[in-house]
Each structure stands twice: as structure tokens, then as C-alpha cells.
A and B are shown apart, each in its own frame.
Chain A
Amino acid sequence: MESRLIEILGPGCAKCEMLAKHAEQAAQELGFDYAVIKVKDPAAIARRGVMQTPALVVDGQVKLQGRVLSAEKLKEFIA
């Protein structure tokens, strides 16, 4: 089974929580082995070069910034 490390970068506002939820759902529906980590520290977020939160990072690569997409649309970024 494929595995993915999913990180959600953001201070924990409603959008960040929703992105995390949708990302988790997408990973589940794709049948992957996954871990969802929420990075809330602003310095850590800035170090990744991210300026728009929430941001979706998959296996260390920033895939999406500043938007929340449905689980269905997120599959494209996690697959």
C-alpha cells in the first residue's frame, strides 16, 4: 500500500481544520497509508516558504496554498 505524509500548514483556523479533514478523507478514499500532521508554528511555516495558509504539503512538497478544496478535488494532489 502506498503511503503519504500529509502536512497541513496553518494557525488552526476553520479553513485549516477543513483542509485537514478533506485531506484525510481523500487519503482514506485513495486507500493510502497516511499520517496527517498539523504544523501551526508560524516560524516553521515561513521556513517552508509558505505565505498563504492553509497549505497542503504532501511528502515534503507544497501542493496547494491558500485554498480549501473538497476531498474529491484533493485526491489529484495527494495521489
Chain B
Amino acid sequence: MARLGGCNPRRDRREPSVSHHHRRALYAVAALLGAAAWWLVYRSLEPFGQWLAYRILGLGRGGRAGSAVAFFAFEAPKVLMLLAVVVFGVGVVRSFFTPERTRAILAGRRESVGNVLAALLGVVTPFCSCSAVPLFIGFVTTGVPLGVTFSFLIAAPMINEIALVLLFGLFGWKVALLYAGTGLVIAIAAGWVIGRLKLERWVEPWVYATASGPAAAGADAPLTWGDRAAFGREAVKDIVGKVWPYVLAGIAVGAAIHGYVPQDFMASFMGKGAWWSVPLAVLIGVPMYSNAAGIIPIVQALLEKGAALGTVLAFMMSVIGLSLPETIILRKVLTVPLIATFVGVVAAGILVVGYVFNLVL
């Protein structure tokens, strides 16, 4: 298409022609066929795992090696398939949200409503930890209260689609919903508490002195569905492309635990009886960094072997939601007392969640 200097091809919309409609119909058919094929492959994974371990490799049924291999051969492709689909879907959803729009929604809001909105938006707004600092500056210097900003920053890494899809795939929708729900509550409550403590004085002074530019152009360009699908595809390439070794490693560890660790082994120190298991889980989890993909298969295996759900959820939230690399990044804009408060409040929230679940479930 001939392009006159400076014109943006996206803004040239031709009238939808007949071939345009045909193309869309073809896309729809292709999508349906793709979905059907995906579903068929997905359903055959468990039998495949069994077949591989017991028929092809000839491992004994009920044996530990057979159990571990069947687990791995089933779970590894299953998780990757789920991941690809969900990351794509979330990529498309995220194309509807930008930090600029989120900021516009949150600026000047009252605290409690703002905290809830910020936590919800934190889940759907595209966020990369490398942009945490410019985003933080952009928020707090344009009227988004500090506590509300924190609600966003807590929700964004903790309630990520990878964690949710893996939890759903491995434990069912109830656990996934539980994780999302409690994660939101922690983000809202911790952000609100930090807001109440009036800790603006503990933000690095130069932050408030920075005059944030108005939302830059190019951030809110109108997108076609083709653009949104491209977002989805990029997300799959980026995220699944980066994360798959961790997923496989995590599933391998899970498979080993599944096959080799005796039943109820974990009950002794991660089970409900051990009251100190929750604080211990949080203490170990906080400095650790793992993406959700790596940690969840391990979580699954621990649960299988008798660890209590509350303890395990607390561990997972601590690993994913707080990490040393993240605090190092935030050190640029937050003084150490504020970072300590931030970590402390979130860890306390996770602790409470862990205890409550161990008591209730």
C-alpha cells in the first residue's frame, strides 16, 4: 500500500470489503478447529502419560519411577498447553488496559475505593517489573495516593495469570479463586494500611520533585483486533518462551516428590498441626524469587504429601508476591524504612491468610 510520508497506516481504514468478511470467517473457522484440536490433545494427555511410563518404558505399575514418569509426561505438556492458551487470552485482555488509563482512573480517588480499584486494575494492567520505577513515579506525582499505588504494586505481580491457570489446571477452580480472592484482599488491605500510616515522607524525596510528563502519545493508540491478537501472540512468545524451562523443572521436582516422597511425609512439618509452619513458609518464601510457573508444581506435590493448604498458599504468595529483586528495584524510589514496612505489612497479611485457611479448611 503506497504510504505518503508520515501517515499512519492504522488510521487509514478502508471500507470493509467482501474479502475482508471472508477473511474474518476463515479466521473464525480456523480458531474453532484450533480449539477443538487443542481440546482433543489435552484430553489424551493423561492416558499418554500412563502409556509412556508403563507400556513404552516398561516401568512397574504402582512403582515410584513409573509414578514419577507418568506424572511428568502428563503434567508437562498439559501445563504448557494451558499456559499458552491463557497467556494468549490474558494478553488480549491486557491490550485493553494501559498504565495511563489506570492512572487516570485512580488519580484523586478516595483511599478505600481507590485501593479496591487499584488491586483489580493491578491484575489486568500490563506490568513489567522493569517499569516499576517509572510507573511508581508516574502514579504518585499525578495524584494517585501512595497507599493506592501500593495496592496496585502488590496485586500486579502476585495475582498473575500464570499462577491462576496453573492453580486451576492442577487443583481446580476453587483453589484458583481462593488464591485470587485472598491475593486481592491482601493487596487492598496492605495498601490501605500503608496509606493510613501516612508514609509519604519515607518515599525518596526526589520522586515528588519530579514533574511527571503528561501521558505520552503512542500509549493509547486505538487497536484493531489484529493488533490485540498480535499482543496475545507476543505475550505467549515472551512469557511461555521465557518460562518453560522453569515449568519443566518445577514439574520434574513435583514428579520426583510425587513418586518418591512417602505419603504424609510433609504433614509432620508443613501440616496443620505445626503452628510454626506458616511463619516458616512465609520467612523462606519472601526473599525467594521464582516465577509462578516454577513454584506451583512443587506446591502441588507438597500438598499431595500432606502439607496443609494454608501453609502452602502462604508459601506461594510469599515467593511470587515479594522478592529480593523487586525490593532492590524499588529501592530507587523508596527509602529502606518504607520498603521494610511494605514487606512487613504484606508478609503479615500472607501470614494471616495462611493461618485462617489452616483453621478453616
Chain A residues proximal to chain B, CB less than 8 Å: 9-11, 13, 15-16, 42-43, 45-55, 61-67, 76
A27 to B130: give the CA distance in the assembly, Å. 26
User: Which residues of A sit under 8 angstroms from B207, Cβ to Cβ?
Assistant: 43
Q: How large is the interface on B (under 10, 10 to 19, 20 to 34, 35 or more residues)?
A: 20 to 34
- Is A64 touching B103 in the complex (CB atoms < 8 A)? no
Total A-B pairs, Cβ < 8 A: 83
Contact present for A65 and B210 (CB under 8 Å): no
Q: Are B137 and A42 in contact (CB under 8 A)?
A: yes
Taken residue by residue from 217 to 231, chain B's Cβ proximity to chain A (1 for < 8 Å, 0 otherwise) reads as 111000000000000
Known: A43-B206, A46-B210, A46-B213. A53 touches B134 (CB 8 A): yes
Main secondary structure, interface of A, reads: mixed
Closest CB of chain A to B245's CB: distance in Å? 16
Contacts A13-B130, A15-B130, A63-B218 known; A49 to B213 CB distance under 8 Å?
yes
The answer to whether A48 and B213 have CB atoms under 8 Å apart is: yes
Flag B115-133 by CB within 8 Å of A: 1 or 0 each: 0000000000010101101
B215 contacts A by Cβ under 8 Å? yes
Known interface pairs A46-B138, A49-B215; 6 further A-B residue pairs with C-beta atoms within 8 A, sorted by A's residue number: A11-B133, A45-B133, A52-B98, A53-B128, A55-B216, A62-B219
Give 24 CB contacts A-B under 8 Å.
Answer: A10-B130, A10-B131, A11-B130, A11-B133, A15-B130, A42-B134, A42-B137, A43-B137, A43-B206, A45-B134, A47-B212, A48-B216, A49-B213, A50-B138, A50-B216, A51-B138, A52-B131, A52-B134, A61-B218, A62-B216, A62-B217, A62-B219, A63-B218, A64-B218
Residues of A within 8 Å of B326, CB to CB, are none
- Identify the closest chain B residue to A54 (Cβ): B130
Encode B130-153 as 1/0 by CB contact (under 8 A) with A. Answer: 110111011101000000000000
> By the criterion CB–CB under 8 Å, are A51 and B218 in contact?
no
Q: Measured between C-beta atoms, what is the minimum distance from A2 to chain B in Å?
A: 10
Contact B210 A51 (CB under 8 A): no
A43 to B217, CA, bound (A): 18
| A50 in contact with B217 given A43-B210, A67-B234 (CB within 8 Å) | no
Q: Say yes or no: A76-B9 contact (C-beta < 8 A), given A48-B213, A49-B216, A52-B98.
A: yes
Residues of A within 8 A of B139 (CB): 51
Interface check B167, CB cutoff 8 A: no
Check if B23 is an interface residue, CB within 8 A of chain A.
no
**Which of A9, A13, A15, A52 has most chain B Cβ within 10 Å?**
A52
How far is B135's CA from A46's CA once the two chains are assembled, in angstroms?
Answer: 8
B67 to chain A, nearest CB (A): 39
Asked if B99 and A62 make an inter-chain contact with CB atoms under 8 angstroms apart, the answer reads: no
A51-B130 contact given A43-B206, A62-B217, A64-B218, CB 8 Å threshold: no
